[in-house]
Chain A
Amino acid sequence: MEFRAGNGIVAQNMFVGESDTEEEESDYDEEEESAPVETTTTTAASRYYSGNASDSDDSEGQKRVVRRVKDKRFDEMSATVDQMKNAMKINDWVSLQESFEKMNKQLGKVMRVVESDKAPNLYIKALVMLEDFLNQALANKEAKKKMSSSNAKALNSMKQKLKKNNKQYEDLINQCREKPELFEEKVEDEQEPEDEDEDEDEDEDDDFDEDVQTLESEESKDEEETAAESGSGWEKMLSKKDKMMDKQFKDPSQITWDTVNKKFKEIVAARGRKGTGKIELVEQLTFLTRVAKTPAQKLEILFSVVSAQFDVNPSLSGHMPINVWKQCVQNLLAILDILTQYSNIVVDDMVEPDENETQKGADFDGTIRIWGNLVAFVERVDVEFFKSLQVIDPHTREYVERLRDEPMFSVLAQDVQEYLERIGDYKGASKVALKRVELIYYKPQEVYDAMRKLAEQDNQGREVESGEGIKAVEENRAPTSFVATPELVPRKPTFPENSRTLMDILVSLIYKYGDERTKARAMLCDIYHHAILDEFSTSRDLLLMSHLQDSIQHMDISTQILFNRAMAQLGLCSFRVGLFAEGHSCLSELYSAGRVKELLAQGVSQSRYHEKTPEQERLERRRMMPYHMHINLELLEAVHLICAMLLEVPNMAANVHDAKRKVISKTFRRLLEVSERQTFTGPPETVRDHVMAATRALRQGDFEKAFDVIKSLDIWRLLRNKDNVLEMLKAKIKEEALRTYLFTFSSSYESISLDHLSKMFDLSDSQTHSIASKMMINDELHASWDQPTSCIVFREVEHTRLQALAFQLTEKLSVLAETNERAIEARIGGGGLEGLPLRRKDGQDYAATGGGRWQEFSFSQSRQGGRGGYNAGGGRGSGSAQFTRDRTGRSGGYHGSRHQDGPGRMHQTGSTVRGGQVDGLTMKKSFTPSSSKSSHPINTVNNEGMHCNCGMDALLKTSWTKSNPGRRFWACSRYGQNGYCGHFKWADDEMCSRAKQIIPGLLAKINKLQEEIEAFQSKEGKFESEINMANIRLAMLDHEVLELKKKNRSLVLFCYVTVCVIVGVSVAFLM
């Protein structure tokens, strides 16, 4: 029995390395379905099985069934052979090849059914025939030439395949050639040929070496079996294993470290191979953990159990089965148990440990190194958890059940983190801490409390429940577990009372030890969490001081999504605390492209303009947030639109005449236009309708109606302390209504009394006074107070048409002058900017003279301000000082090395940035375009860069000046020429100083080389012309030679004639 088993494996491994094996392998499973015979062992046997070695307990009934199937197979095969014959007739090698492969496949099936190791005669005959035909075809060279290319190709490959294939059956083929009649009759007579057996014996000999440990082969046989019968034979295998266990491990004293180790190595080697059942692998390994002799060994095996469990998940998009996930977590906890108990065991993934490292027993003093990476495991577990939540339908009970597993993960993460901190691996600990942060950052206090309670009370219940899942495994626990580990690490997560405290602890650890990405993510989570807790100023400061808006473009997509989420939450938060302008600046970018869903990874939006490839879509799906982490989009939209309304309505009223000039929210304007175009406006239904209706009311100064409409939105129930918020909103609406009213109707009044105004808008006198005063100071309202009568007196400041035109003219003039200045600066300062390679040399000259001018230029550009959102500036914190303010003693600080130069940079922009928070936030405009880039990298970087002031598309050029070599920029197509409109914007980031140093040098080198080449080329030209001249001369000489030859010939003729004449004359004389 053992023989056969070992044989089975090796034979398969040895012979199956051929081209057709893959199909054959995949056929295995089909076979199972089509022929549901209870062939526990036979199916597993390969075609090299000798019939007589098969299990004796094969019953008769079984045989009968097999026979029927056998007939079928033979029929199929003979049909194929017929096809081949036809193909031969028409000399079609392509179809011949196909049939041949088909036949080979069928051969496998046939052999399996007939339980024979010998190829059927039919097959052999076909092979013989084929070989003959092939030889014939090869011999006929003429015919071969005539063949079409594909046919010829097929012929060649056929030749090779057949050669290879026939080698296996050489003897049979020879036999067949010798006595073909034998094969004619013996269709089903499977007589074992001697020679075949020899072949096998060799294999078996090889096996003997490995078969020293009977246990192993036993086990591998099991494996082999289970591979074949992944589903049905499950219980059987288990029982078998039990039996085997009884046999092998009846006497525990027999088990040595060596046996277990060998076995373990073997199983691990089988991992990932074709036909190795992943679940069974796990089972076997789990069994081994029980018989492991030393804790180190147990640990090692546990590690592979866990990684095998990760393998169970078949595809990238699918998730791990939940029960496997749970077991996996339990295993990891067990690993931690061991690690805690034996503190001399070190887990490391850097060094390849000694072969026999694990032999050292529990009483070994020194450190034992085990290969493994706990952090990676935890991260993987987290990913699987996340994926499962992504996949499960959020409206089902299953989803809720799955969510309840969260404490399980958090306890694991907590334990691992503690362990890592204990052994001093803070880097790893910070990574794990990040996972924990990502688990709680989105939870408001209520949800957090709920989770905490669940974790506390539910744990006992769950223990039983999850225990059941494991019980199935534990049932067949070996009589003795050699290394018993008590449950040392807590199985229950401990949560502090307040989610904020937990966040603070974790986040400060990460800031101290984490790497760049970990820190950035933790920072974003921190921002998000602060925002949830309505601590707007804290989270805003964190955002501004971390400079994340600037660096987020360079991070990975999931971090960008996190950034978008944090921004959205920040917007909501500022709305809740009544800072509507800030809220708008947070949210407007998200809404500018109309793809909020995508940016927040809460759904895939279908774009009209470009189709996504399935690949892209799959990627996007993989990024999706699980449902429970979603930010309510309706609420977000409502908040965004209301903020926009509050800003835009008075703004529109203030600039009635040139409404286009100052647009605060393009999205809002567009929506307003659409709703104004409608002929009939029904009662509001969607969020947009509501806000539009409110806008209409607000523009008339009817604040009550505006507020009522907005209040009727039913999404407010999702808002925490909504009464307060709505109260604030109402106050703000009143205020804006007053402003709008004053803007709109100021021209109709000579004076207006404070009393009247405050009554009209239900505001207190002082509020009204303050609002009006503010407008006066800011020159928005041309009026002043008359204190004794307490009313506003309006001044007539309406310009006449002529005056207005004159103002416009002056404005244009100044723009013109500015453009001129810029143009000349570009000319003088960096004339070689559009440096085509040919002009490069000039450019460098210019750069040399214009020197540091560029600096000025770009700086003045940035001073020009808003034109291109150019002021991508730092926040107000000096890059370095940033984190010192953390109250919770995170003084470790998050100042990435990148920001070390903060103070210097901040110099320039600091003062402008400090100019109020709104500035601070709007300045950071560049942030979301980047995040929209997240999904479509080719998206426009910044629309403003692409169009120049004269309205044409700007060109992307490359600068070759000394200060900015190779840096690209957008500029007007007439850059550096007449009519240059002054548009200029860098497309690339500033180079590092090293590049700046090196590039000019390289350019100079290239130039020099080019010059040399040119010199050589001109020389070459000279040579060529000389050669030409020489050729011409040669031709002339040739010509001359010809002439001379001609002359010569005529001379000879002449001589001849004269001689003849002379002779003739002389003859005549003589005659």
Chain B
Amino acid sequence: AKNYLSLGLHDEVEESDDVPFSGMKLKPYFHLKKSEVLDQVKKMGFASDYHPQQKDFEKYPLEDILLLFDPSRAYGEKIVWCTTEASYNHQMERLNGIRQAVLDEFEKENSPEAAAGEEAAVQDEPDVNVVVRDVPKECFEWKSETAENTHEEVRAFTVQNSRPLLQMMITRARGQFGKSTKFSDSGENNQNCRPQKDHNFAPPKRELEMGIQAVKETRTTSCQTTWFRPVNKSTQYTPSDFLQRGADLGYAKVDELSAFLSNVSVGVEEALQTNETVDIFQEEFSHLGEEEAGAITKTHSKLKEHPNFHDVTYTKGKRIEWVEWVPNSSEMVVSSCCENQPFTDRLENSGKASVSTVLVWSFADSLSPHAILESPWEVTVFKFYPSDPTYLIGGLANGQVAVWKLSTTDLGFATKSQNSRPGMEEEKHSTIPTVVHRQISMIDESHRKAVVAIEFMPATLEIERRGRGASEKNPADAPMKYFLTVAGDGQVMIWDFQAMLDAINDNDFLWRPVHRVQLQRQDSGTEMGLCHILHCHDRFDDKGTKLLTNFYATTEEGELILGDWAARGEEDRKADVVKKMYSSCKTFRPMQSLERSPFFPDILLGVTDWAFYLFKDGLSEHLFMSSYTSTYYTRGVWSPTRPSVIFLGLVSGGIDIWDFSDQSHKASLSDTGASVAITSMMFCYHGDIKEGQKLAVGDAQGHLHIQNIPKNLIKPGGREKENMRKFLDREEKRVRYFQERQQELRELKEQMEKAAMAQDETAKDKTEDLDKEDAIAEASYQKLEAEVKEQL
């Protein structure tokens, strides 16, 4: 490039605006002398620019070399020169032509100026002096450069029909619709046509445009509270956070502390001494407050369980059917165990002989029974003979009655002094004395179903005329002679115990009932199975004579009946033993318990599965019915000391205690007596029942629990008996009132019906009258109307 200056291609090396051909802007053409070129080549040799083309230079015919500056490199180089003459001429012509054109143009421009300058000198001035005038711009039509593009784009969004739409119609001959077609194999496509991938039609999706909106899972809610300040709910600390070891006795404080202690220690030591001398924990008030006939509080009222009798061999899995306390003893209990067998099993075993046991327990030994009474059948109920407690009468599951004679050892009376019987001790350790029954009733004459209740009749009673009547002949202190038994077969049998006693050692004695009565149902004629029986000792009829042959019994359908076994039948009717029937408690399930209140001899407690009833002798309806319970009752007993307390055993094993002085709509207290269903309950009437009462509770798994009754269930309130009596009287009044009221209502209803009947006849007349009235009214109205019209 530096050589350009020397070559004359441009005038100045550096680019500047003043010189048109400067820098890289080379002159378009330039002439060079051939001789100069050749000279230069010779001088400089390889360094010369013209060396590579030296040969061409020598060939060149003309003298002038034309260098062309070719910025567009049409010939391949920036600077080219014409090598041949023809091209030289051609180029010169071209150049000259261009030159000429430029000159012409220049002259043309100048000449009109010169020409015009002569004509109008005035007009030159405005051209020479440019004056800027503020003229509002003229508005032209708006031309947009991109508008056309935009229109194209918009048009591209919609699809326009490039051709008219075609319509096609495909028809089928109507006759061919619905015709059955027959398809046959076509021989053409024997080969399977497999799907083939044609890449033209399955473009893989590389990019997908999709819009998604994400919704927050969180929600903001707020609520309002009236609390306004933070409260310290809990704190956790260790003592070392607070105990500053530095706060320990500083030596400065010793004096203060000793002064303080000397002041204070006097009083403290006094107090300490008084505490040592007087018993500070003695409760002064513990003996007060027992007279309140108030509510049973929970603190004192747990039934405390004393020993629990259970023997693996004899009682495991069995049901304690009946429990009795040994008379004259509060330490011995007798229980009978029956198998927990459903009916089908019993049926199977009914013909087989087995040995069943009645166990005598002593409190001294709760693991093994004191004595065992064996019986051929299960003992469902038993009672001690009141006049001589060595005899035990038991009713068996097959209907017979058996008697055992117990020795005094069995009854535990002689065991107090064990030392005096060293010999017996060894025996006791090894075997438990067993007693076999002495007498048993005749099987043909006995009940057909299990004996369920035994009741002794007062000693004064004497049955005569073959059971048709009874009279009070015997002296009051004679031994009891007769007892009643009932069973599910509906028979009430009277047995003579005395006769049996006389012949107890006689093996051929056939023990027969003295009298028997069959109870039957009125409606169905079937036998009325009985569950309990209570003899009415003191009932008087209208004339004042004592009724000796009445009894209360409960049936297997839950009713309570009052019966008379000495009832005499009419000529055509059978003896109606059942005098009265209380069917208000009919539950179609056997009555569970029937007990007479120890305080009110005319009040009976009847316990059914889900309610218990209080009956009064003489009322045809029950006095009181408890609310229905969710756990079924199994037994019920009156409390022996408190007139208004009833203990009920439940299916769950609990004991519900109802206290009528507290509340009569639900149990006052509920306690657990056993863990399985309670099957028998019996209070111990011996001993000081005001001090420590015991209740024997037998359950369905063979456990015999002895519960100690807490004090507040033993001690009656001050006016408890009166309150209870008032309650019962109130209930009686209510019952009577209801009955009267019902009677009244019935009568009223009858009257109304009669009146209604009478009214029916007059009703027809009435309607006729009404019609007549209507007609009259209508006529009068018409008249009125006519009058008015006339007036108008």
Report whether chain A binds chain B: no
